[in-house]
Copies of this chain bind each other. A is one copy, B any other.
Amino acid sequence: MTRFRLTVEFDGRPFMGWQRQAHGPSVQQAIEEAAAAITGEAAVLHAAGRTDAGVHALAMTAHVEIAKPIAAERLMDGINAKLRPLPVAVLAASQVPDEWHARFSCIGRRYLYRIRNRRAPLALDAGRAWRVPVPLDADAMQRAAQVLVGRHDFTTFRSVHCQAESPVKTLDLLRVTRSGELIEIEAEARSFLHHQVRSMVGCLQLVGRGKWSADELGAALQARDRAALGLNAPPDGLFFVEARYPDDLPIPNSR
């Protein structure tokens, strides 16, 4: 068996999410079926993150094992040809050692959340951003966001369906910037809880509208209670940006 690392871009709109579902299309299933069509083998994909329905990826990282001898480039081109016309594309493929794991070797994940702060509906960015028609104070959002950075119990910002063992996570970066009507929120951590980014963004939006202060955001965090959540932002604006691996070397335990 040869293990291949795949970098995947997708538009989440037509999918129930990354993970294979019994009752609807998923990105995982689409790629697994494309790979199986190329190799004639059942293929199982493992990914750095499992995105929700409607969430997008600029560069999700996954791996798959294949018995049939095949060059990485041919695998990539073959999967891409079979994926057509779905909005999923393999951007890169490379052989990795058997110990390399897209999920367990991953040491950092980065997300981007895009808000369009305007009155008019979205034409070009429909499904790719959250439209917020009332004026948002992005500077206040950026200041308040720093309350969430660091090691905390993020129970308030965690979906009831979250399967993580612990609600304690270390948020390395949460940065809010504005360029015209576009507000971008970048989030970085080793790993995130289910719905964590959307829940943090939803509460930052309340800060931006002046409904919450930074102190109230801090109190919501301290409450460690899902009931203290102000708002969960819609999936449309969320993009999985990047998965990081140690020194970009494939085997974390080999060093």
Task: List the interface of chain A (C-beta within 8 A of B).
Answer: 9-11, 56, 58, 76-77, 80, 83-84, 87-92, 118-124, 126, 128
Knowing A87-B126, A126-B87 are in contact, say whether A121-B80 is a contact too (CB < 8 A): yes
A121–B77 CA distance with the chains assembled, in angstroms: 9
Determine the chain B residues whose CB is within 8 A of the CB of A80 once the complex forms. 120-121
A9 touches B123 (CB 8 A): yes
Given the complex, which residues of B lie within 8 Å of A77, measured CB to CB? Answer: 119
Question: Which of B9, B89, B120 is in CB contact (< 8 Å) with A9?
Answer: B120
| Copies of chain A in the complex | 2
Whether B124 lies near A87 (C-beta < 8 A) is: yes
* Known pairs A10-B123, A11-B124, A76-B119 / 18 extra A-B pairs, C-beta < 8 Å: A9-B123, A9-B124, A10-B124, A56-B124, A58-B124, A77-B119, A83-B121, A84-B121, A87-B124, A87-B126, A88-B123, A89-B121, A89-B122, A89-B123, A90-B120, A91-B118, A91-B120, A124-B128
Give the nearest-CB partner of A73 in chain B. B119
Residues of B within 8 A of A92 (CB): 120
Residues of B within 8 A of A122 (CB): 89
CA distance A11 to B128 in the complex (A): 13
